[in-house]
Amino acid sequence: MMRVRALHRRWLSAALWWMTLCAGHPAASATPAPVSQAVPASPRIASPRIVSLAPNLTEIVFAVGAGDQLVGTIEYSDYPAAARRVPRIGDAFLVDFERVLALRPDLILAWESGTPKAVIERLRSLRLRVQVFSTYRVIDVAGVVRDIGELAGTRNVAEPLAQQFEQGFEQLRQEYRGRAPLRTFIEINARPLYTVNGKQILSEIVALCGGHNVFDSLNDLAPQIGVEAVIAQNPQVILSVDETSTEVIEEWQRWQGIEAVRTGNVFSLPANELARATTRLLVLVK
């Protein structure tokens, strides 16, 4: 029981990670895919004017010491505090192209699983340089940090930050190596009941923290399941990130046959805090 509660504390600290479920991510492979999509070569600009189309990319721009180069971003870019003062050019799905052009950006940063392809194509048709980033695994955040540091001209800040991130997660893996993982059910929606499979990045976070996603073998990235399936798996921990329900813990109490319910290991985490693929994840996990 003590180990289960220790795992809970580590999960609460890891609450800064949640990717767009419907977009999904390819399965991790022995040879990681590149974290950014190549764009036509452009003349090197020492301090490019940057527009970010994702809150996590905005955060990384500040983290690598290029916040003063950020001339525009989208709604919900609220970390660090200075990001709230950056002019808005729309949201993840609706971009004001005229406003973007007025900012005269040298570089636009887009997020593969969050920026619509139509938006990227439209920006490129306006002869704007767009760099697209993605992450397939937690450790790929370090690659995004390096790429943005290289593009922004702040490699001296980005490289040590990326190395620290990589070393920190390697230490976390070593800490839990050899321990029997706790059976974990990840709930992303209660009505209807949805979970994630092993290809979703949240499953990796659970594994890093000493758990095992009981539905990791399902084919769909975000499959709909029934309560009977959860009962059959008998998880030791239930982790819910469903913000549509404010009574997640109470709702599971009717199923006392499930070990997680019987032992009081049903936890609710705020989904809106799990949407940032940034180096801040490591600080919170620890």
CA distance 133 to 140: 10
Can you say how many angstroms the Cα of residue 249 is from the centroid of all Cα atoms in its chain?
Answer: 24
Predicted local confidence at residue 66, as pLDDT: 98
> CB-based contacts of 258: which residues, under 8 Å, 6+ apart?
230, 231, 234, 235, 238, 252
| Cβ pair 100, 88 in contact under 8 A | no
The pLDDT of residue 249: 84
Q: Give how far Cα 127 sits from Cα of 31, 104, 188, Å.
A: 33, 11, 39
| pTM recorded for the entire structure | 0.76
Residue segments in the chain with a per-residue pLDDT below the cut of 70: 1-44, 243-246, 270-275, 283-286
| Predicted local distance difference test score (pLDDT) of residue 275 | 57
Query: Angle at CA 150, nearest 5°, toward 147 and 151?
Result: 85
Between CA 16 and CA 271 the distance in angstroms is 9
107 burial level (CB within 10 Å; 0-12, 13-18, 19+): buried
Tell me the pLDDT tens digit for each residue of 115-169. Answer: 999 999 999 999 999 999 987 788 889 999 999 999 999 999 999 999 999 999 8
| Residue 274 to residue 281: CA distance in whole angstroms | 9
pLDDT for 46 equals: 80
Q: Show the 3-state SS of the chain.
A: CHHHHHHHHHHHHCCCCCCCCCCCCCCCCCCCCCCEECCCCCCCCCCCCEEECCHHHHHHHHHCCCHHHEEEECCCCCCCHHHHHCCECECCCCECHHHHHHCCCCEEEEECCCCCHHHHHHHHHCCCCEEEECCCCCCHHHHHHHHHHHHHCCHHHHHHHHHHHHHHHHHHHHHHCCCCCEEEEEECECCCCECCCCCCHHHHHHHHCCEEECCCCCCCCCCECCHHHHHHHCCCEEEECCCCCCCHHHHHHHCCCCHHHHCCCEEECCHHHCCCCCCHHHHHHC
- Per the CB < 8 A criterion, the answer to whether 244 and 192 are in contact is no
Residue 270 has a pLDDT of 66
According to the model, what pLDDT value does residue 103 have? 98
